[in-house]
Amino acid sequence: MDSSRLIELAALACDDRKAGNIKLLKVDEVSSIADWILITEGLSDVQVRAIINNVEKTLRDEADLFPLRKEGINEAKWALLDYGDLIINVFQPNERKFYDLESFWSNGIIHNFIDNKLIKLKDE
């Protein structure tokens, strides 16, 4: 399964747990760190953990994919799943605003995820 399909699965898993403001950044042409970075938010530590757990379960069940690394899940202010080609970031709103990863990665191709569809914000 290619990384574009995997990031869609991850976004669907986030949306299933009512994650807010889902952004998908295609960074493969500007960085070797990953192909895609997903950034979204949950309104509480419980919701952040639910989003992360659902992404992990979905990618495991649908693609037999397991994270290489997990960070911040217990604190659930900024949780991260690193799948190599995909990096999933789930923030609480204040942390998302403070770290502003969308600006940091703005040289990539930014997509919104609305109504189960990727919507490109910036030309490729």
d(CA 31, CA 58): 26
- In eight-state DSSP terms, residue 108 is S
* CATH code: domain of residue 74: 3.30.460.10
User: How high is the pLDDT of residue 108?
Assistant: 86
What is the enclosing helix (H) or strand (E) of 39?
strand 36-41
Which tokens go with 108? 């990539």
pLDDT at position 92 over 60: yes
pLDDT at position 99 over 90: yes
d(CA 74, CA 69): 14
Q: Which of these, 29, 22, 1, 6, lies nearest to 86 by C-alpha position?
A: 6
Other Cβ atoms less than 10 A from the Cβ of 5: the count is: 11
Total number of domains constituting the chain: 1
User: How high is the pLDDT of residue 124?
Assistant: 42
Higher pLDDT among residues 55 and 123, named by residue: 55
Q: For the whole model, what pTM was predicted? A: 0.90
Which tokens go with 87? 């990096």
Mean per-residue pLDDT, 31-43: 94
d(CA 43, CA 79): 13
pLDDT at position 122 over 70: no
Please give the residue range of the domain that contains residue 113: 3-120
pLDDT tens digits for 8-29? 999 999 999 999 999 999 998 8
pLDDT at position 35 over 80: yes
pLDDT tens digits for 40-89? 999 999 999 999 999 999 999 999 999 999 999 999 999 999 999 999 99
